[in-house]
Protein backbone atom coordinates (compact mmCIF):
# COMPACT_ATOMS: atom_id res chain seq x y z
CA UNK A 1 0.00 0.00 0.00
CA UNK A 2 2.95 2.35 0.53
CA UNK A 3 3.72 2.04 -3.20
CA UNK A 4 0.18 3.05 -4.10
CA UNK A 5 0.09 5.90 -1.58
CA UNK A 6 3.44 7.42 -2.54
CA UNK A 7 2.83 6.96 -6.26
CA UNK A 8 -0.53 8.73 -5.95
CA UNK A 9 1.03 11.55 -3.92
CA UNK A 10 3.88 11.93 -6.41
CA UNK A 11 1.47 11.94 -9.35
CA UNK A 12 -0.66 14.59 -7.60
CA UNK A 13 2.38 16.86 -7.30
CA UNK A 14 3.36 16.18 -10.92
CA UNK A 15 -0.15 17.07 -12.06
CA UNK A 16 -0.14 20.26 -9.97
CA UNK A 17 2.96 21.36 -11.81
CA UNK A 18 1.67 20.16 -15.19
CA UNK A 19 -1.40 22.41 -14.77
CA UNK A 20 0.55 25.38 -13.40
CA UNK A 21 -0.08 27.66 -16.41
CA UNK A 22 -3.85 27.33 -15.86
CA UNK A 23 -3.35 29.88 -13.05
CA UNK A 24 -0.10 31.75 -13.63
CA UNK A 25 -0.88 31.93 -17.35
CA UNK A 26 -3.56 34.55 -16.64
CA UNK A 27 -1.21 37.22 -15.20
CA UNK A 28 1.38 36.23 -17.81
CA UNK A 29 -1.23 36.81 -20.53
CA UNK A 30 -1.88 40.31 -19.18
CA UNK A 31 1.81 41.04 -18.71
CA UNK A 32 2.78 40.02 -22.25
CA UNK A 33 -0.45 41.05 -24.00
CA UNK A 34 -1.18 37.61 -25.42
CA UNK A 35 -4.27 36.81 -27.49
CA UNK A 36 -6.48 33.77 -26.85
CA UNK A 37 -4.58 31.47 -29.20
CA UNK A 38 -1.20 32.43 -27.70
CA UNK A 39 -2.57 31.80 -24.22
CA UNK A 40 -3.82 28.39 -25.34
CA UNK A 41 -0.38 27.50 -26.70
CA UNK A 42 1.32 28.61 -23.48
CA UNK A 43 -1.09 26.67 -21.25
CA UNK A 44 -0.83 23.56 -23.40
CA UNK A 45 2.94 23.51 -23.94
CA UNK A 46 3.78 21.30 -20.92
CA UNK A 47 0.99 18.96 -22.02
CA UNK A 48 2.72 18.43 -25.37
CA UNK A 49 5.93 17.09 -23.86
CA UNK A 50 4.09 15.13 -21.20
CA UNK A 51 2.12 13.45 -23.97
CA UNK A 52 5.02 12.65 -26.28
CA UNK A 53 7.12 11.04 -23.56
CA UNK A 54 4.34 8.79 -22.26
CA UNK A 55 4.93 6.02 -24.78
CA UNK A 56 8.72 5.73 -24.31
CA UNK A 57 8.30 6.07 -20.53
CA UNK A 58 5.69 3.30 -20.56
CA UNK A 59 8.12 1.08 -22.46
CA UNK A 60 10.92 1.94 -20.03
CA UNK A 61 8.63 1.07 -17.10
CA UNK A 62 7.98 -2.39 -18.55
CA UNK A 63 11.71 -2.96 -18.98
CA UNK A 64 13.33 -1.25 -15.97
CA UNK A 65 10.54 -0.96 -13.40
CA UNK A 66 8.41 1.96 -12.30
CA UNK A 67 10.38 3.15 -9.25
CA UNK A 68 13.64 4.27 -10.95
CA UNK A 69 11.82 5.76 -13.94
CA UNK A 70 9.35 7.71 -11.79
CA UNK A 71 12.12 9.12 -9.57
CA UNK A 72 14.25 10.14 -12.57
CA UNK A 73 11.52 12.11 -14.34
CA UNK A 74 10.67 13.99 -11.14
CA UNK A 75 14.29 15.02 -10.63
CA UNK A 76 14.64 16.09 -14.27
CA UNK A 77 11.87 18.68 -13.89
CA UNK A 78 13.08 20.51 -10.77
CA UNK A 79 15.38 23.01 -12.51
CA UNK A 80 13.01 23.76 -15.46
CA UNK A 81 10.19 24.49 -12.97
CA UNK A 82 12.41 26.96 -11.12
CA UNK A 83 13.48 28.62 -14.39
CA UNK A 84 9.89 29.52 -15.31
CA UNK A 85 9.86 32.10 -12.51
CA UNK A 86 12.89 33.80 -14.09
CA UNK A 87 11.64 33.83 -17.68
CA UNK A 88 10.79 37.25 -19.12
CA UNK A 89 9.95 36.51 -22.76
CA UNK A 90 7.15 34.43 -24.27
CA UNK A 91 9.54 32.05 -26.04
CA UNK A 92 11.45 31.44 -22.80
CA UNK A 93 8.24 30.37 -21.06
CA UNK A 94 7.37 28.08 -23.94
CA UNK A 95 10.78 26.37 -23.84
CA UNK A 96 10.72 25.99 -20.05
CA UNK A 97 7.16 24.67 -20.28
CA UNK A 98 8.32 21.96 -22.69
CA UNK A 99 10.82 20.62 -20.15
CA UNK A 100 8.40 20.93 -17.23
CA UNK A 101 5.94 18.85 -19.24
CA UNK A 102 8.04 15.75 -18.63
CA UNK A 103 6.26 15.55 -15.28
CA UNK A 104 3.07 14.66 -17.14
CA UNK A 105 4.69 11.47 -18.39
CA UNK A 106 4.58 10.15 -14.83
CA UNK A 107 1.09 8.82 -15.48
CA UNK A 108 2.09 6.00 -17.83
CA UNK A 109 4.87 5.09 -15.40
CA UNK A 110 2.79 5.09 -12.23
CA UNK A 111 -0.28 3.38 -13.67
CA UNK A 112 1.75 0.32 -14.71
CA UNK A 113 3.91 0.43 -11.56
CA UNK A 114 0.88 0.38 -9.25
CA UNK A 115 -1.30 -2.07 -11.20
CA UNK A 116 1.25 -4.89 -11.01
CA UNK A 117 1.17 -4.93 -7.21
CA UNK A 118 -2.51 -5.98 -7.23
CA UNK A 119 -4.57 -8.97 -8.37
CA UNK A 120 -6.45 -8.54 -11.64
CA UNK A 121 -9.86 -8.22 -9.97
CA UNK A 122 -8.58 -5.22 -7.96
CA UNK A 123 -6.45 -3.54 -10.61
CA UNK A 124 -9.25 -1.24 -11.73
CA UNK A 125 -9.59 0.15 -8.22
CA UNK A 126 -5.81 0.47 -7.77
CA UNK A 127 -5.42 2.33 -11.06
CA UNK A 128 -8.38 4.50 -10.11
CA UNK A 129 -6.77 5.44 -6.80
CA UNK A 130 -3.50 6.32 -8.54
CA UNK A 131 -5.34 8.26 -11.21
CA UNK A 132 -6.98 10.35 -8.47
CA UNK A 133 -3.71 12.26 -8.61
CA UNK A 134 -5.42 14.20 -11.41
CA UNK A 135 -6.86 16.19 -8.50
CA UNK A 136 -3.53 18.01 -8.58
CA UNK A 137 -5.24 20.26 -11.13
CA UNK A 138 -7.70 21.32 -8.44
CA UNK A 139 -4.96 21.68 -5.82
CA UNK A 140 -3.15 24.10 -8.11
CA UNK A 141 -6.33 26.15 -8.47
CA UNK A 142 -6.62 26.38 -4.69
CA UNK A 143 -2.95 26.95 -3.79
CA UNK A 144 -1.46 28.91 -6.70
CA UNK A 145 -3.90 31.89 -6.69
CA UNK A 146 -3.09 32.61 -3.04
CA UNK A 147 0.63 32.59 -3.85
CA UNK A 148 0.05 34.87 -6.85
CA UNK A 149 -1.96 37.36 -4.78
CA UNK A 150 0.53 37.32 -1.89
CA UNK A 151 3.90 37.23 -3.65
CA UNK A 152 3.31 37.44 -7.41
CA UNK A 153 3.14 34.75 -10.07
CA UNK A 154 6.94 34.25 -10.17
CA UNK A 155 6.84 32.75 -6.67
CA UNK A 156 4.67 29.82 -7.81
CA UNK A 157 7.41 28.06 -9.85
CA UNK A 158 9.87 28.53 -6.97
CA UNK A 159 7.53 26.89 -4.46
CA UNK A 160 6.67 24.12 -6.89
CA UNK A 161 10.34 23.36 -7.63
CA UNK A 162 11.02 22.82 -3.91
CA UNK A 163 7.86 20.72 -3.60
CA UNK A 164 8.90 18.49 -6.50
CA UNK A 165 12.38 17.93 -5.06
CA UNK A 166 11.02 16.94 -1.65
CA UNK A 167 8.43 14.63 -3.20
CA UNK A 168 11.01 12.88 -5.36
CA UNK A 169 13.24 12.15 -2.36
CA UNK A 170 10.29 10.89 -0.28
CA UNK A 171 9.21 8.64 -3.17
CA UNK A 172 12.68 7.11 -3.42
CA UNK A 173 12.76 6.36 0.32
CA UNK A 174 9.25 4.94 0.73
CA UNK A 175 8.70 2.77 -2.37
CA UNK A 176 10.00 -0.60 -3.57
CA UNK A 177 10.90 -2.51 -6.73
CA UNK A 178 9.96 -6.03 -7.81
CA UNK A 179 12.05 -7.48 -10.68
CA UNK A 180 9.19 -9.88 -11.50
CA UNK A 181 7.14 -6.91 -12.72
CA UNK A 182 9.52 -6.21 -15.60
CA UNK A 183 9.03 -7.44 -19.15
CA UNK A 184 11.43 -10.26 -20.06
CA UNK A 185 14.71 -8.93 -21.42
CA UNK A 186 14.38 -10.72 -24.79
CA UNK A 187 11.28 -8.67 -25.67
CA UNK A 188 12.44 -5.94 -28.07
CA UNK A 189 11.11 -2.43 -28.45
CA UNK A 190 9.80 -3.42 -31.88
CA UNK A 191 7.77 -6.22 -30.36
CA UNK A 192 6.38 -3.85 -27.75
CA UNK A 193 5.37 -1.37 -30.47
CA UNK A 194 3.35 -4.00 -32.36
CA UNK A 195 0.47 -2.78 -30.23
CA UNK A 196 0.25 0.24 -32.55
CA UNK A 197 -1.17 -2.07 -35.23
CA UNK A 198 -4.07 -3.11 -33.01
CA UNK A 199 -7.27 -1.19 -33.98
CA UNK A 200 -8.69 -1.81 -30.51
CA UNK A 201 -5.83 0.22 -29.03
CA UNK A 202 -6.68 3.17 -31.28
CA UNK A 203 -10.31 2.97 -30.22
CA UNK A 204 -9.28 3.14 -26.56
CA UNK A 205 -7.09 6.12 -27.47
CA UNK A 206 -10.13 7.91 -28.87
CA UNK A 207 -12.07 7.39 -25.66
CA UNK A 208 -9.17 8.59 -23.54
CA UNK A 209 -8.64 11.70 -25.65
CA UNK A 210 -12.08 12.76 -24.37
CA UNK A 211 -12.13 11.72 -20.73
CA UNK A 212 -8.52 12.70 -20.07
CA UNK A 213 -7.61 15.06 -22.91
CA UNK A 214 -10.88 16.93 -22.46
CA UNK A 215 -10.35 17.03 -18.70
CA UNK A 216 -6.86 18.50 -19.06
CA UNK A 217 -8.00 21.03 -21.66
CA UNK A 218 -10.97 22.23 -19.63
CA UNK A 219 -8.86 22.35 -16.45
CA UNK A 220 -6.46 24.67 -18.25
CA UNK A 221 -9.28 26.77 -19.71
CA UNK A 222 -11.90 27.13 -16.97
CA UNK A 223 -10.19 29.65 -14.68
CA UNK A 224 -9.85 32.12 -17.53
CA UNK A 225 -13.39 31.31 -18.68
CA UNK A 226 -14.85 32.31 -15.30
CA UNK A 227 -12.79 35.51 -15.31
CA UNK A 228 -13.86 36.59 -18.78
CA UNK A 229 -17.40 35.22 -19.00
CA UNK A 230 -18.63 35.96 -15.48
CA UNK A 231 -16.21 38.65 -14.27
CA UNK A 232 -14.77 36.83 -11.23
CA UNK A 233 -11.37 37.71 -9.78
CA UNK A 234 -8.53 35.18 -10.07
CA UNK A 235 -9.01 33.49 -6.66
CA UNK A 236 -12.79 33.13 -7.03
CA UNK A 237 -12.49 31.95 -10.63
CA UNK A 238 -9.87 29.33 -9.70
CA UNK A 239 -12.00 28.11 -6.79
CA UNK A 240 -15.06 27.66 -9.01
CA UNK A 241 -12.95 25.98 -11.69
CA UNK A 242 -11.84 23.51 -9.01
CA UNK A 243 -15.48 22.34 -8.81
CA UNK A 244 -14.74 20.66 -12.12
CA UNK A 245 -11.10 19.68 -11.56
CA UNK A 246 -11.47 18.21 -8.06
CA UNK A 247 -14.17 15.59 -8.73
CA UNK A 248 -12.53 14.95 -12.08
CA UNK A 249 -9.52 13.71 -10.12
CA UNK A 250 -10.47 12.28 -6.75
CA UNK A 251 -13.47 10.28 -8.00
CA UNK A 252 -11.35 8.28 -10.40
CA UNK A 253 -11.11 5.59 -7.72
CA UNK A 254 -14.91 5.34 -7.83
CA UNK A 255 -14.67 4.80 -11.57
CA UNK A 256 -12.20 1.98 -10.97
CA UNK A 257 -14.63 0.30 -8.57
CA UNK A 258 -17.51 0.68 -11.04
CA UNK A 259 -15.35 -0.79 -13.81
CA UNK A 260 -14.35 -3.79 -11.70
CA UNK A 261 -18.00 -4.39 -10.82
CA UNK A 262 -19.86 -3.61 -14.09
CA UNK A 263 -17.18 -3.81 -16.78
CA UNK A 264 -15.19 -1.17 -18.63
CA UNK A 265 -17.43 -1.15 -21.71
CA UNK A 266 -20.71 -0.52 -19.94
CA UNK A 267 -19.30 2.23 -17.70
CA UNK A 268 -17.56 4.02 -20.57
CA UNK A 269 -20.75 3.95 -22.68
CA UNK A 270 -22.75 5.76 -20.01
CA UNK A 271 -19.92 8.19 -19.27
CA UNK A 272 -19.91 9.34 -22.90
CA UNK A 273 -23.68 9.83 -22.86
CA UNK A 274 -23.57 11.97 -19.71
CA UNK A 275 -20.77 14.11 -21.19
CA UNK A 276 -22.64 14.48 -24.49
CA UNK A 277 -25.84 15.75 -22.83
CA UNK A 278 -24.05 18.20 -20.51
CA UNK A 279 -21.82 19.53 -23.29
CA UNK A 280 -24.86 20.11 -25.48
CA UNK A 281 -26.32 22.43 -22.82
CA UNK A 282 -22.98 24.10 -22.13
CA UNK A 283 -22.45 24.76 -25.84
CA UNK A 284 -25.36 27.20 -26.11
CA UNK A 285 -23.98 30.75 -26.02
CA UNK A 286 -25.60 33.63 -24.17
CA UNK A 287 -28.41 34.63 -26.52
CA UNK A 288 -30.83 37.51 -26.77
CA UNK A 289 -33.64 37.43 -29.33
CA UNK A 290 -36.79 39.40 -30.07
CA UNK A 291 -40.14 37.83 -30.95
CA UNK A 292 -43.09 39.67 -32.48
CA UNK A 293 -46.17 38.80 -30.40
CA UNK A 294 -49.79 39.97 -30.36
CA UNK A 295 -48.79 42.38 -27.60
CA UNK A 296 -45.82 43.78 -29.49
CA UNK A 297 -42.13 42.94 -29.51
CA UNK A 298 -40.88 40.75 -26.67
CA UNK A 299 -37.17 40.25 -25.96
CA UNK A 300 -35.94 37.06 -24.35
CA UNK A 301 -32.57 35.97 -23.00
CA UNK A 302 -31.16 32.47 -22.85
CA UNK A 303 -28.03 31.99 -20.78
CA UNK A 304 -26.44 29.83 -18.11
CA UNK A 305 -25.80 31.69 -14.88
CA UNK A 306 -22.70 30.82 -12.87
CA UNK A 307 -24.58 28.42 -10.57
CA UNK A 308 -26.08 26.29 -13.37
CA UNK A 309 -22.82 26.43 -15.32
CA UNK A 310 -20.78 25.25 -12.33
CA UNK A 311 -23.27 22.45 -11.60
CA UNK A 312 -23.03 21.18 -15.16
CA UNK A 313 -19.23 21.34 -15.07
CA UNK A 314 -19.28 19.37 -11.81
CA UNK A 315 -21.33 16.61 -13.49
CA UNK A 316 -18.93 16.56 -16.45
CA UNK A 317 -16.00 16.34 -14.03
CA UNK A 318 -17.54 13.36 -12.24
CA UNK A 319 -18.28 11.62 -15.54
CA UNK A 320 -14.75 12.18 -16.82
CA UNK A 321 -13.28 10.88 -13.55
CA UNK A 322 -15.25 7.66 -13.88
CA UNK A 323 -14.40 7.45 -17.58
CA UNK A 324 -10.66 7.83 -17.05
CA UNK A 325 -10.69 4.77 -14.81
CA UNK A 326 -13.01 2.72 -17.02
CA UNK A 327 -10.89 3.32 -20.12
CA UNK A 328 -7.80 2.05 -18.32
CA UNK A 329 -9.73 -0.97 -17.13
CA UNK A 330 -9.90 -1.91 -20.84
CA UNK A 331 -6.10 -2.06 -20.79
CA UNK A 332 -5.68 -4.25 -17.71
CA UNK A 333 -8.41 -6.60 -19.02
CA UNK A 334 -7.23 -6.93 -22.60
CA UNK A 335 -3.45 -6.34 -22.36
CA UNK A 336 -2.24 -7.68 -18.96
CA UNK A 337 1.24 -8.56 -20.25
CA UNK A 338 2.22 -5.11 -21.53
CA UNK A 339 0.27 -2.60 -19.47
CA UNK A 340 3.17 -0.14 -19.59
CA UNK A 341 3.43 0.21 -23.36
CA UNK A 342 -0.35 0.20 -23.95
CA UNK A 343 -0.90 2.76 -21.21
CA UNK A 344 1.88 4.81 -22.81
CA UNK A 345 0.14 4.75 -26.19
CA UNK A 346 -3.26 5.58 -24.72
CA UNK A 347 -1.76 8.21 -22.42
CA UNK A 348 0.00 9.75 -25.41
CA UNK A 349 -3.31 10.07 -27.25
CA UNK A 350 -5.06 11.53 -24.23
CA UNK A 351 -2.25 13.97 -23.60
CA UNK A 352 -2.19 15.12 -27.22
CA UNK A 353 -5.91 15.81 -26.85
CA UNK A 354 -5.09 17.91 -23.80
CA UNK A 355 -2.46 19.77 -25.84
CA UNK A 356 -4.45 20.40 -29.01
CA UNK A 357 -7.81 21.25 -27.48
CA UNK A 358 -6.75 24.42 -25.55
CA UNK A 359 -5.12 25.77 -28.71
CA UNK A 360 -8.28 25.00 -30.68
CA UNK A 361 -10.37 26.60 -27.91
CA UNK A 362 -8.36 29.81 -28.26
CA UNK A 363 -8.47 29.76 -32.05
CA UNK A 364 -12.25 29.27 -32.02
CA UNK A 365 -12.74 32.22 -29.66
CA UNK A 366 -10.49 34.41 -31.84
CA UNK A 367 -12.40 33.33 -34.97
CA UNK A 368 -15.99 33.36 -33.69
CA UNK A 369 -15.93 35.57 -30.62
CA UNK A 370 -18.07 32.94 -28.83
CA UNK A 371 -16.55 31.67 -25.59
CA UNK A 372 -18.81 28.62 -25.40
CA UNK A 373 -17.33 27.41 -28.71
CA UNK A 374 -14.95 25.27 -26.62
CA UNK A 375 -17.93 23.20 -25.49
CA UNK A 376 -19.25 23.00 -29.05
CA UNK A 377 -15.97 21.42 -30.09
CA UNK A 378 -16.01 18.96 -27.19
CA UNK A 379 -19.63 18.05 -27.97
CA UNK A 380 -18.67 17.09 -31.52
CA UNK A 381 -15.74 14.94 -30.39
CA UNK A 382 -17.91 13.04 -27.90
CA UNK A 383 -20.54 12.48 -30.60
CA UNK A 384 -17.92 10.85 -32.85
CA UNK A 385 -16.86 8.53 -30.01
CA UNK A 386 -20.43 7.50 -29.25
CA UNK A 387 -20.97 6.53 -32.89
CA UNK A 388 -17.67 4.61 -32.99
CA UNK A 389 -18.46 2.77 -29.77
CA UNK A 390 -21.93 1.83 -30.96
CA UNK A 391 -20.73 0.36 -34.26
CA UNK A 392 -17.76 -1.54 -32.78
CA UNK A 393 -19.08 -2.67 -29.39
CA UNK A 394 -22.71 -2.04 -28.54
CA UNK A 395 -24.07 -3.29 -31.86
CA UNK A 396 -21.96 -6.47 -31.86
CA UNK A 397 -22.27 -7.50 -28.22
CA UNK A 398 -24.84 -7.02 -25.50
CA UNK A 399 -22.64 -4.56 -23.61
CA UNK A 400 -25.47 -3.02 -21.64
CA UNK A 401 -26.20 -6.36 -19.97
CA UNK A 402 -22.61 -6.79 -18.92
CA UNK A 403 -21.53 -9.37 -21.51
CA UNK A 404 -18.50 -7.30 -22.50
CA UNK A 405 -16.26 -10.37 -22.58
CA UNK A 406 -17.35 -10.93 -26.19
CA UNK A 407 -15.83 -7.67 -27.28
CA UNK A 408 -12.63 -8.22 -25.35
CA UNK A 409 -12.26 -11.70 -26.84
CA UNK A 410 -12.81 -10.43 -30.37
CA UNK A 411 -10.21 -7.69 -29.92
CA UNK A 412 -7.54 -10.21 -28.94
CA UNK A 413 -8.03 -12.58 -31.88
359, 41 contact by CB (below 8 A): yes
| Tally of domains within the chain | 1
Highest mean pLDDT among 47-51, 58-62, 111-115: 47-51
Average pLDDT, the chain: 84
SS3 30: helix
Q: Please, what's the largest Cα pairwise distance for the chain?
A: 83
- 186 is a domain residue: no
Quick check: 137 and 16 in contact, CB under 8 A?
yes
DSSP 390: I
Task: Tell me if 185 is assigned to some domain.
Answer: no
How many CB atoms sit inside 10 A of residue 205's CB? Answer: 20
Cα 287-290-293 angle, rounded to 5 deg = 145
Does pLDDT of 93 surpass 70?
A: yes
Whether the pLDDT of residue 249 is over 90: the answer is no
Residue-level pLDDT at 344: 73
In this structure, is residue 184 part of a structural domain?
Answer: no
Q: Per-residue pLDDT for 409 more than 50?
A: no
Q: Which residues contact 50 (CB under 8 A, 6 or more apart)?
A: 18, 101, 102, 103, 104, 105, 107, 351
> What percent of the chain stands above pLDDT 70?
89
In a domain, 149, yes or no: yes
Whole-angstrom distance, CA of residue 386 vs CA of residue 394: 10
pLDDT digits (tens, 9 = 90+) for 127-144: 778 877 877 888 888 899
Q: Are strands 287-293 and 296-302 parallel, antiparallel or unpaired?
A: antiparallel
Predicted confidence (pLDDT) per residue in 170-211, tens digit:
999 988 877 765 665 445 556 556 767 778 888 888 889 899
Percent residues over pLDDT 90 in the chain: 32
The answer to the question of residue 103 being in a domain is: yes
**239-248, 281-290, 400-409: lowest mean pLDDT where?**
400-409
Give residue-wise pLDDT tens across range 59-74. 788 778 888 999 999 9
Residue 398 has pLDDT above 70, yes or no: no
CA distance 219 to 354: 9
CB 104 within 8 A of CB 46: yes
**Model confidence at 301: pLDDT above 70:** yes
> 3-state SS string over 106-154?
HHHHHHHHHHCCCCHHHHHHHHHHHHHHHHHHHHHHHHHHHHHHHHCCC
Confidence at 360, pLDDT banded by 50, 70, 90: very high
Domain contains 334: yes
Looking at residue 184, its pLDDT comes to 55
- Domain hosting 24: range is 2-178+191-412
State the pLDDT at residue 348.
80
Checking phi first, is residue 118 left (phi over 0); if not, alpha (psi -120 to 50) or beta? beta
pLDDT of residue 189: 57
Q: Specify if 183 maps to a domain.
A: no
56: in domain: yes
Closest CA to 239 of 223, 252, 255: 223
Burial class (CB in 10 A: 0-12, 13-18, 19+), 260: buried
| Residue 145, domain CATH | 1.20.1250.20
Contact 81, 75 (CB under 8 A): no
pLDDT band for position 408 (cuts 50, 70, 90): very low
Amino acid sequence: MSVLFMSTLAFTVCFMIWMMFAVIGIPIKQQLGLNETEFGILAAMPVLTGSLVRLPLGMMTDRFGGRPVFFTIMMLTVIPIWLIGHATAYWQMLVAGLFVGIAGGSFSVGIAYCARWFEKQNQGFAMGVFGAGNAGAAVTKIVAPSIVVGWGWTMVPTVYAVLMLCTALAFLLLTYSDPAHRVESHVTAGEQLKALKDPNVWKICQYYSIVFGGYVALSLWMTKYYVQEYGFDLKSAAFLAACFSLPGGVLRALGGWFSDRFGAHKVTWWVLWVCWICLFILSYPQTEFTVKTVNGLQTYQIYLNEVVFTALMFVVGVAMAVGKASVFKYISDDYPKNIGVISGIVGLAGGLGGFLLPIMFGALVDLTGIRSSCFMLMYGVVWVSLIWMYWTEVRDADVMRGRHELVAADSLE
